[in-house]
Structure 1
Amino acid sequence: MRTIAMIRRILTELLRDKRTLALMFAAPLLILTLLYFLFQGAGNTSADLAVQSVDDDLVSAMQVDGLHIHKIPERQTTDQSSNYTERIIRDNDYAGFLCQNDGSLHLTLAGADEAQSGLILQSLKAAQAELSGKAASATIASQAAALTQLESTVAALTSRL
């Protein structure tokens, strides 16, 4: 009996206290609204990426919304110093610089905005995955054609025996 009376007393005190009711109902709604607007603003990020001597297939695979790719003409010297890269990024206000030397990619990010850096990294990884998938399917198709040719050769040889 005492437990029921205590529960009833606590509930009546809660219902009479307007501040507690406001914290229980209005504060979560306010926080959820703020989180909604916070995450809605993150979707419209755009970044500028400078590319130099990069394969055209990779550049076309990197085309995503918000990523603007600028092709930089090749330099006369083969020196790919960090000063040159930093100067290109700083002078043109790019978020990153991607170059390809001897088959390896070198990506330099400005690091000023994490959202821009994330957009560039995400598009580069997606492009590499897409290209490796295309290369794998081409390899599988050529191997299937070679197996078919071998099967016909084996069938022809067994028919002669």
Structure 2
Amino acid sequence: MTDIPRSALILGLAGVIPFAWGALTLLWPAAAQWGTATLGPRFVGPYVQLYYGAVILSFMSGVLWGFATKAAGARAATGYALSVVPALWAFFMTGGGPVSAGMNLVFGFAGLLVLDYAFWHWRLAPVWWLRLRGLLTLLVVLCLSVGVFL
């Protein structure tokens, strides 16, 4: 991880905090009670994970769009088309209850990692990108799995 820029690593890990907080409030009722009383019910348990997960998938669509601007011709068109998939996935697949929505977010983040690989393979993403995205995806999937499987 030493070749990942420190700021990208720190900010990426900070971006996992809402997922981890959601998992913590699912596992520890006292944290859920405190969070509900202090932050409101939308900011605990699966609610914070699902809402934030949809936001992050949409954000990552923008990141991929930015990578696509480095390409030309058919590769650029493919990049632009693929870049909107995470946002569309979040929009269409996060309804239907917390378990199915959480599972769909797990699939969405796994699919995003495949897209990250494609953009990295095409040399549109930084050389360190896949290491950062692999770590963050693992952490996010673990946190979302608390709400899906426990």
TM over 0.5: no
Report the TM-score when normalising by structure 2.
0.28
Greater percentage in helix:
2
Greater percentage in strand:
1
Q: Max radius of gyration: which structure? A: 1
Which structure is richer in relative contact order (CA contacts within 8 A, separation 6 or more)? 2
